[in-house]
A and B are shown apart, each in its own frame.
Chain A
């Protein structure tokens, strides 16, 4: 493993662990996103990799060498901050040249590498501008170029798109992914935005209360969350409270609704007792009663319709529980607010997670 975190613990006050025993292995050239709500320990973890925070215990190893006690400027790690942190008294080119000058790179090479880095982020025409003359997106590109220009072993990005508006954010997601592929740098990305995590990452590490809840490729996390927390944090979700009866394999008893089929490897739960069944709203569909061959069905009362144009979100209830259904816009004619409809899903689209004993904050 290239970058490896072992039993990493960090406490600021000695009482609560902001980071509480993180184990994570990152391959060379991999794009890993640390995803979680604020206060879950993802930024603290990033700051420890960068060397700005010292772990109370645990190890950080890069290419086999222990990093934990070395200073930030002794590590060969680039960092991009949410507020860009560009040096306001330097032009874009001098910002990008800064890491090279600190490394005593010869002037000719500095020029060549700065030009290449600015070209990589598409800012070669803005080399002589000061940060305050650049837009937010341009500033973030300069920060990227500064983080990459010295061929870092790892590039860390701390919520880099948080300050940008939505369109620009999507544009920069594509851009960051392209740059990472082009350069092949190992990249650790911190965000609380599940869309960013889904669209860019090779793997996502979901943080919760200083611990890792789940690590895996985006689609696996989306389809097979390890817990209700992960299922709710990433994507839209329906959860049915249910019981598993070991005497009836292939079936599950939904509280207040009745039995439903389950299939495949769709489980992250113990083989018996109280569980939750996750069905994504877009995996649900309208069915004609009696023609639901092989599908699980529930009766839904629609209370609210939200039309997105390309799709339609129906919010309502099944029994006394909330239910959400997302269907393509063209098939939405049958839906009216107040309507009663039959909704079905393929047993393979159901995913069982353990019942959470504590209520979520």
Chain B
């Protein structure tokens, strides 16, 4: 290893502090006794956590968010896994165009997409439904999940499948016992991204969700606009904690021997 000066380390610390700084404000505030946003907090208690846990107007959006994010994750995987296999393993005309099309949701501003989804889903009478938000969120999460799984698939050694087949496994058993388990870390990461992109998404959710499929970010947005209620700090803290867990759990599993050295 070539020796480097302390500069990279200092830069890394600065970036980490910059990224983490909001947490140092939000997390203490969630335990604050103040009636509105106030920093530093005058005192600490768990009152707003109790308030959150007792308030249906927060709990229902929380449940909605989970349902929609899980639905988005499942739908995204169902679309993206076959698409990635087709894209990485086969040659066909228009491959470049297909790739560009799949990346389109990344390029178009969410606000523009949201208007489009609204018009489209309204015609199908899916605005204000879980299904409607899931469809819109799935479109948004496809590009990143697709990239992640394509990358995993490109690094996949096809001799593993050949070895399985010569060992007597047909296409289905080869896929279930070898291809899928070996790709599992990549698929998990893709699924996690899909889940998080839906869970954190506000713009499209505000347009499509309506009252019946309101998600947590939508409710937070409304709360901050109307009430400045410190419960929002509670929700933010819980959200961050949940996301952190979601990122750390796969890391923990990855320590187990999945990858050949």
A→B interface (CB under 8 Å):
50-52, 71-73, 75, 77-79, 81, 83, 85-89, 98-99, 102-103, 130-133, 143, 146-147, 150
Contact = CB atoms under 8 A, between A and B. Distances in A.
B260 A81 contact: no
A132 B166 contact: no
7 contacts: A51-B166, A85-B162, A102-B168, A131-B260, A132-B257, A132-B261, A146-B167
Interface in B87-115: none
B168 A150 contact: yes
Contacts of A87: 160, 163-164, 178, 181-182
Contact of B162 (A72, A99, A131, A132): A72
A50 B169 contact: no
B259 interface: yes
Interface of B: 157, 159-160, 162-170, 173-174, 177-178, 181-182, 184, 257-261
B163 A79 contact: yes
Given A132-B261, A133-B257, A85 B170 contact: no
A73 B166 contact: yes
Given A132-B259, A132-B261, A85 B157 contact: yes
A105 to B, nearest CB: 10
Contacts of B177: 98
A92 to B, nearest CB: 12
A79 B258 contact: no
Given A50-B162, A79-B162, A98-B164, A89 B169 contact: no
A99 B257 contact: no
Of the candidates A51, A81, A103, the one having the most CB atoms from chain B within 10 angstroms of its own CB is A81
Contacts of A99: 167-168
A163 B157 CA distance: 16
B165 A73 contact: yes
B169 A102 contact: yes
B185 to A, nearest CB: 10
A211 to B, nearest CB: 25
Nearest to B173: A102
B163 A89 contact: no
Nearest to B257: A130
A96 to B, nearest CB: 10
B166 A88 contact: no
Q: Considering the complex of A and B, which 5 residue pairs feature the smallest CB-CB distances, nearest first?
A: A102-B168, A99-B167, A85-B159, A130-B257, A132-B261
Contact of B157 (A83, A133, A143, A147): A83
B261 A73 contact: no
A257 to B, nearest CB: 51
A143 B259 CA distance: 17
Contacts of B258: 88-89
A102 B168 CA distance: 6
Nearest to A82: B159
Nearest to B166: A79
Of the candidates A50, A73, A77, A132, the one having the most CB atoms from chain B within 10 angstroms of its own CB is A73
Nearest to A152: B166
Given A83-B159, A85-B159, A89-B257, A71 B165 contact: yes
A81 B169 contact: no
A88 B159 contact: no
A103 B173 CA distance: 12
Contacts of B260: 86, 88, 131-132
Contact of A88 (B162, B167, B173, B257): B257
A88 B260 CA distance: 5
Contacts of A79: 162-163, 166
Contacts of B261: 132
A150 B164 CA distance: 13
Given A79-B163, A81-B163, A88 B169 contact: no
Contacts of B159: 81, 83, 85
Contacts of A150: 167-168
A72 B157 contact: no
Contacts of B184: 89
A96 B203 CA distance: 53
Given A73-B165, A81-B163, A83-B157, 11 more contacts: A72-B162, A73-B167, A73-B168, A81-B159, A89-B182, A98-B177, A102-B168, A102-B173, A147-B166, A150-B167, A150-B168
Of the candidates A72, A99, A143, A147, the one having the most CB atoms from chain B within 10 angstroms of its own CB is A72
B257 A77 contact: no
Given A88-B257, A89-B258, A78 B166 contact: yes
Contacts of A88: 182, 257-260
A71 B172 CA distance: 13
Nearest to B170: A73
Contacts of B160: 85, 87
A187 to B, nearest CB: 14
A131 B178 CA distance: 14
Contacts of A133: 257
A129 B258 CA distance: 13
A54 to B, nearest CB: 13
A212 to B, nearest CB: 24
Contacts of B181: 87, 89
A258 B261 CA distance: 60
A51 B168 CA distance: 12
B259 A102 contact: no
A88 B178 CA distance: 9
Contacts of A78: 166-167
Nearest to B167: A99
Of the candidates A51, A52, A89, A131, the one having the most CB atoms from chain B within 10 angstroms of its own CB is A89
Contacts of A132: 257, 259-261
